[in-house]
């Protein structure tokens, strides 16, 4: 009995020591901020789901679904690169507070218009443009803030990974609850929850300590357009960032638009309702949580480019198979894989960019270029795929996107040796590896 007890005790100790607790979890500063923002993302996702469903219910038009998706995000392409310059100049805390307060106001207006039965496509488009403008400032500001929350620079990757995980947890919960609220109480309940969800983040912004940029006086004196050019030149000249941003743009245009096509897929292919849509989006978000957990508990900050390459390939294949399926159970499995690899690819790209950016005076500009892929490229994808789905069918539109994603992943994989040669000495200088052998 004694040896057996000793062996089980040793096994328990081995299991405990093998668990890797992310260092940033020990920081109240980081935890307060990311938990607050994850709650706000919960409400944002519910609003997005409710708007898409409401537009399709009102109009029964795939094209108008694409138009609404476009108007909600097209401002990102116009102003997000410029926002990066401003974020390198402005106080991030004030930017975040302003964007949350305006978001509360816009969600409140949506709630009022829906409850009073005054909501129209015109109102949805106008408010969508305003929400897109706010997001153009809000999302880059959140990403720029994360590395400035940590006390120890080595914990940057850990903080970014926790940020991605909690956002995807919100993404997991919101479709499940949003689908139920839509089916039982209507879209107004989703908009109301969204307006309330920003309050915890406002509290977090007021209480956390966000480090300021050491010295940006020279940046303040330089012309804004010159600052903007410097950001683009830096992102283009640094080959690893150029390649990952190229893949990100492709995925945002060809794959991320599948979220807007889910309501059409549910009705035309699966003959389902709002709860069916909620199930699919929940399965997708469950995959996102798995991806977020994996990134959060990785012990090494290096190796992200390899993860990006192969998860993008699986993403394209998963979307192709999903587009060919007519069975709900199979679709749930496949959309879970799509959600997992979509998040894994894009979160790994975000983590990678924030990790290798050592110049704080360029962080805002490069981060805004990355965010442009979501806020600027995605609306054109929504518009394009809304029209494509109306012409060739929603399943064929999804197939089209999956094929191009697979091609993009193949090209990126071919670039891995070149990127490895560039990144290895950088990781050595950062102290992440001792020998230039693993990126």
* Residue 141 pLDDT level (bands cut at 50, 70, 90): confident
Average pLDDT taken over every residue of the chain? 78
pLDDT of residue 7: 47
pLDDT of residue 29: 77
DSSP readout, 319-357? Answer: HHHHHT---HHHHHHHHHHHHHHHHHHHHHHHHHHHHH-
> Which carries the bigger pLDDT value, residue 223 or residue 248?
248
**Does the pLDDT at position 9 exceed 60?**
no
Give 415's DSSP letter: T
pTM value is: 0.68
**Does the pLDDT at position 292 exceed 80?**
no
206-217 pLDDT, tens per residue?
Answer: 888 877 665 555
**Does the pLDDT at position 50 exceed 70?**
yes
Q: What is the mean pLDDT of residues 123-128?
A: 85
Architecture of domain 27-209+222-430: Up-down Bundle (1.20)
pLDDT of residue 11: 44
pLDDT of residue 184: 82
Task: From 325, 317, 328, 323, select the one nearest 392 (Cα to Cα).
Answer: 323
**Does the pLDDT at position 14 exceed 50?**
no
**Does the pLDDT at position 31 exceed 90?**
no
Q: Which two tokens stand for residue 68?
A: 């609404």
End-to-end CA distance of the chain: 47
pLDDT of residue 347: 82
Question: What does the alpha-carbon distance between residue 296 and residue 313 come to, in Å, rounded to a whole number?
Answer: 21
* Residue 266 pLDDT level (bands cut at 50, 70, 90): confident
Would you kindly state where each structural domain of the chain is located, as residue ranges?
Answer: 27-209+222-430
pLDDT of residue 362: 66
pLDDT of residue 247: 92
pLDDT of residue 412: 93
Q: Which of 313-317, 420-424, 425-429, 431-435 has the lowest mean pLDDT?
A: 431-435
pLDDT of residue 317: 94
pLDDT of residue 214: 57
Task: From 14, 310, 297, 325, select the one nearest 165 (Cα to Cα).
Answer: 297
Range from 121-130, 142-151, 362-371, 419-428 that averages highest in pLDDT:
121-130
**Does the pLDDT at position 275 exceed 90?**
no
**Does the pLDDT at position 60 exceed 50?**
yes
> Which carries the bigger pLDDT value, residue 247 or residue 155?
247
Task: From 186, 335, 394, 396, select the one nearest 274 (Cα to Cα).
Answer: 186
pLDDT of residue 13: 45
Using alpha carbons, list the distances in angstroms from residue 405 to 92, 258, 305, 364.
35, 12, 16, 28
Residue 118 backbone dihedrals phi, psi, to 5 degrees = -110, 5
Runs of H (alpha helix) within 255-327 = 258-268, 274-297, 304-323
* Residue 63 pLDDT level (bands cut at 50, 70, 90): confident
pLDDT of residue 435: 63
pLDDT of residue 430: 65
């Amino acid at each position: 009995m004694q040896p057996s007890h000793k062996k089980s005790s040793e096994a328990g100790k081995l299991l405990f020591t093998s668990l890797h607790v992310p260092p940033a979890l020990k920081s109240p500063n980081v935890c307060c901020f990311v938990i607050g923002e994850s709650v706000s993302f919960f409400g944002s996702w519910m609003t997005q789901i409710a708007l898409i469903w409401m537009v399709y219910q009102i109009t029964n038009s795939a094209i108008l679904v694409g138009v609404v998706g476009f108007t909600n995000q097209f401002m990102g392409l116009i102003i997000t690169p410029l926002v990066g310059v401003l974020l390198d100049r402005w106080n991030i805390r004030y930017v975040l507070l302003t964007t949350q307060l305006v978001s509360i106001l816009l969600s409140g207006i949506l709630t009022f218009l829906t409850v009073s039965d005054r909501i129209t496509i015109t109102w949805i488009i106008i408010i969508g443009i305003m929400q897109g403008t706010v997001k153009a400032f809000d999302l880059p500001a959140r990403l720029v803030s994360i590395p400035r929350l940590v006390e120890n620079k080595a914990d940057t990757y850990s903080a970014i990974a926790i940020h991605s995980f909690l956002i995807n947890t919100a993404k997991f919960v919101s479709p499940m609850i949003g689908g139920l609220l839509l089916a039982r109480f209507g879209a107004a309940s989703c908009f109301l929850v969204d307006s309330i969800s920003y309050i915890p983040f406002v509290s977090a912004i007021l209480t956390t300590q966000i480090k300021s940029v050491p010295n940006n006086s020279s940046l303040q004196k330089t012309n804004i357009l010159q600052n903007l050019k410097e950001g683009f030149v830096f992102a283009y000249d640094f080959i690893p960032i150029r390649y990952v941003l190229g893949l990100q743009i492709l995925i945002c245009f060809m794959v991320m638009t599948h979220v807007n096509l889910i309501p059409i897929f549910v009705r035309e292919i699966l003959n389902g309702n709002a709860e069916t849509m909620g199930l699919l989006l929940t399965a997708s978000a469950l995959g996102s949580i798995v991806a977020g957990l994996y990134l959060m508990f990785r012990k090494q900050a290096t190796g992200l480019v390899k993860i990006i390459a192969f998860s993008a390939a699986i993403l394209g294949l998963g979307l192709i198979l999903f587009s060919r399926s007519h069975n709900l159970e199979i679709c749930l499995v496949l959309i879970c894989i799509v959600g997992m690899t979509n998040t894994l690819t894009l979160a790994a790209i975000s983590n990678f960019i924030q990790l290798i950016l050592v110049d704080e005076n360029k962080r805002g500009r490069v981060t805004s270029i990355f965010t442009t892929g979501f806020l600027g490229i995605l609306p054109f994808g929504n518009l394009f795929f809304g029209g494509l789905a109306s012409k060739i069918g929603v399943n064929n539109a999804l197939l089209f996107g999956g094929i191009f994603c697979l091609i993009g992943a193949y090209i990126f994989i071919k670039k891995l040796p070149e990127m490895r040669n560039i990144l290895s000495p950088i990781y050595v200088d950062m102290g992440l590896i001792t020998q230039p052998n693993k990126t």
